[in-house]
């Protein structure tokens, strides 16, 4: 009986090790000094197995994956039901996936009133150059894409619209495409919370103000059309942000801007985003492949 127990334990150990050995992608925590905010922030960098083991010396494409509000840079690694999701996608597509810090409520823009919140500058002038200097990357727009969820979906679109020279494609999952929070399907208490946060970020508590409109992706359709980036958008039909995503979709259709738009069952949840992310990565892979920037 003792021998049988030892055998079963050994078998379980071998099986466990064999399972974990398939999780080959590596996660680095990259320290990124920020001269713009006079401090340092971290970014999580998922490196595929072929990169880690030196199997391929080619330059690798990079996907920037942005977190939502009330979160931090490791959110995509810790909050999906399947904790291996991002690593497995990096391995499947031979893709470096970078998850930078966007703080609790930065919206990935440079605040006009708060000098400690300059996250457009941080991502564009500090994170991207640091990643390209540290890793074996395709260090031009043909090998660089960006996406994110909620606030990060807005951030991905906002940054790609304002810096089309840096990205070949952009995506948004359940994105807050309009910063006019009066259009959201939310409770009164959440509405008040948003007012306070936008006051600190933009210097106004008026959702209909010019500065809110100026920073809203839904009002940037002309720039999106001019830039001609590949765009992928999706949102759950029960998400409180579905109306603003539909509005952006209709404006893009009216202006004859090519884009991939999908509505699927789901709410503003990690179950939805876990389902959504593989679609985005597949979309980006096809764009990168056309650019000759994928790694076989």
253: helix, strand or coil:
helix
pLDDT at 194: 87
CB 198 within 8 A of CB 208: no
| DSSP 8-state symbol, 61 | P
| DSSP 8-state symbol, 166 | T
pLDDT at 178: 96
pLDDT at 113: 96
Q: In which order are the strands placed within the sheet that holds 230-236?
A: 26-34, 39-47, 96-100, 62-66, 144-148, 169-173, 230-236, 260-264
- The series of mean pLDDT values per 10 residues for the chain, 296 residues long, is 45 42 81 97 97 88 97 97 98 98 96 97 98 98 98 98 98 97 86 89 93 97 97 98 97 98 98 98 98 96
Indicate yes or no: pTM above 0.85: yes
pLDDT at 126: 98
pLDDT at 6: 47
Strands 96-100 and 144-148: unpaired
pLDDT at 10: 45
Q: Count helices and strands (H / E) in the chain.
A: 12, 8
pLDDT at 22: 52
Q: What angle do CA 183, 188, 192 make, to 5 degrees?
A: 85
């Amino acid at each position: 009986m003792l021998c049988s127990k030892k055998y079963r334990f050994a078998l379980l150990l071998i099986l466990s090790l064999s399972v974990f050995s398939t999780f080959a992608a590596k996660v680095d925590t990259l320290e990124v000094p920020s001269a713009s905010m006079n401090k340092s922030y971290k970014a999580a960098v998922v490196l595929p197995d072929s990169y880690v083991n030196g199997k391929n010396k080619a330059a690798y494409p990079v996907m920037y994956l942005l977190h939502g509000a009330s979160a931090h840079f490791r959110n995509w690694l810790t909050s999906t039901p399947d904790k291996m999701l991002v690593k497995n996608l990096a391995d499947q597509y031979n893709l470096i996936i970078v998850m930078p810090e966007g703080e609790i409520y930065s919206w990935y823009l440079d605040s006009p009133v708060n000098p400690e919140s300059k996250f457009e500058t941080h991502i564009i002038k500090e994170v991207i150059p640091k990643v390209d200097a540290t890793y074996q990357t395709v260090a031009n727009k043909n090998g660089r894409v960006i996406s994110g969820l909620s606030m990060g979906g807005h951030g991905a679109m906002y940054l790609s619209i304002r810096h089309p020279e840096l990205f070949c494609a952009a995506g948004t999952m359940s994105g807050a495409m309009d910063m006019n929070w009066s259009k959201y399907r939310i409770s009164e208490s959440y509405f008040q919370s948003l007012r306070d946060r936008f006051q600190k970020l933009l210097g106004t508590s008026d959702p209909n103000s010019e500065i809110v409109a100026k920073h809203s992706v839904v009002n940037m359709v002309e720039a999106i059309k001019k830039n001609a980036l590949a765009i992928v958008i999706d949102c759950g039909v029960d998400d409180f942000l579905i109306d603003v995503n539909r509005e952006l979709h209709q404006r893009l259709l009216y202006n004859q801007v090519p884009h991939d738009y999908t509505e699927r069952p789901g709410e503003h949840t990690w179950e939805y985003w876990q389902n959504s992310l593989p679609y985005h990565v597949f979309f980006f892979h096809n764009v990168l492949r056309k650019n000759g920037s994928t790694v076989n």
